[in-house]
């Protein structure tokens, strides 16, 4: 089975190091200390032009929750359009309502805006009250291709039972990308415990420090 390792990166230099250490894909964000926000546009453009592996771009304007105002949604749509216009292959977003259900109407709106780019619905899914129910609802948004999840827990290991249920029930519909504290040191343990096809982490191919080639 071909295993995909997706490195979460906060700047171009980290993206280059991730590629050097054989990451299969990167997710480009800003503010990794806030679990990732939308990167600035010059960084997006420079990164996709500098790497030979696929680059996904986070669309997330703030960190405190996944409920967005009208102004924030307009900004997110503008960022999606920018990514589509310069040839980004995939964007990452997720939105909830005040009851912590997926905001399906807004998800449909963003998904149509993003098409034909691939779309990952990110760990906002882990903040819902019933992940399995919300995934059933998300199935109706045909443009969503992947789900990023730690099974509702802080780490993939702690959420492994839920993640395995998600894979069993939804892997025929979505690419399930496992996240949560996965590093090059514990990857083998996580994979042997969960058996997924795709994994995500800031240090999944090691610490992304500058290298001298």
For 25-44, what is each residue's pLDDT tens digit? Answer: 999 999 988 889 999 999 99
Residue-wise pLDDT for 104-156, tens only, equals 999 999 999 999 999 999 999 999 999 999 999 999 999 999 999 999 999 99
Please tell me the predicted confidence (pLDDT) of residue 136.
97
User: Residue 196 phi/psi, 5° resolution?
Assistant: -85, 175
Residue 94 to residue 175: CA distance in whole angstroms: 15
Please tell me the predicted confidence (pLDDT) of residue 211.
57
Cα–Cα nearest to 124, from 150, 106, 105: 150
DSSP annotation of 156: T
Is it the case that residue 79 has pLDDT exceeding 60? Answer: yes
Is it the case that residue 1 has pLDDT exceeding 90? Answer: no
How many helices, marked H, and strands, marked E, lie in the chain?
7, 8
Please tell me the predicted confidence (pLDDT) of residue 116.
97
Rg (CA), the chain: 16
Q: Are 126 and 151 in contact (CB under 8 A)?
A: yes
Q: What is the mean pLDDT of the chain?
A: 96
**Residue appearing with tokens 């409920």:** 67
Please give the torsion angle defined by the CA atoms of residues 54, 65, 124 and 49, in that order, rounded to the nearest 10 degrees: 0
Domains and CATH numbers, the chain: 4-201 (3.20.20.380)
The pTM assigned to this predicted structure is 0.95
Q: Tell me the C-alpha to C-alpha distance, in Å, between residue 47 and each of 18, 132, 185, 200.
A: 12, 35, 27, 18
Q: Are 149 and 155 in contact (CB under 8 A)?
A: no
């Amino acid at each position: 089975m071909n295993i995909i390792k997706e490195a979460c990166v906060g700047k171009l230099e980290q993206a280059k190091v991730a590629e050097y250490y054989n990451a299969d894909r990167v997710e480009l964000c800003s503010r990794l200390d806030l679990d990732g926000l939308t990167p600035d546009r010059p960084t997006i453009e420079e990164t996709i032009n500098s790497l030979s592996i696929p680059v996904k771009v986070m669309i997330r304007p703030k960190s405190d929750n996944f409920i967005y105002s009208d102004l924030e949604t307009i900004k997110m749509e503008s960022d999606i359009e920018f990514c589509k216009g310069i040839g980004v292959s995939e964007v990452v977003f997720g939105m909830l309502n005040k009851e912590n259900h997926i905001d399906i109407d807004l998800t449909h709106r963003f998904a149509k805006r993003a098409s034909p780019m691939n779309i990952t619905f990110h760990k906002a899914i882990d903040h819902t009250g019933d992940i399995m129910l919300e995934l059933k609802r998300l199935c109706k948004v045909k443009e969503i291709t992947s789900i990023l999840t730690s099974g509702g827990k802080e780490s993939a290991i702690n959420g492994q039972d839920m993640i395995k249920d998600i894979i069993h029930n939804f892997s025929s519909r979505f690419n399930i990308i496992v996240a949560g504290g996965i590093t090059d040191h514990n990857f083998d343990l996580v994979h042997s415990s969960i058996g997924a096809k795709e994994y995500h982490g800031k240090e999944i191919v090691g610490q992304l420090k500058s290298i001298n080639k």
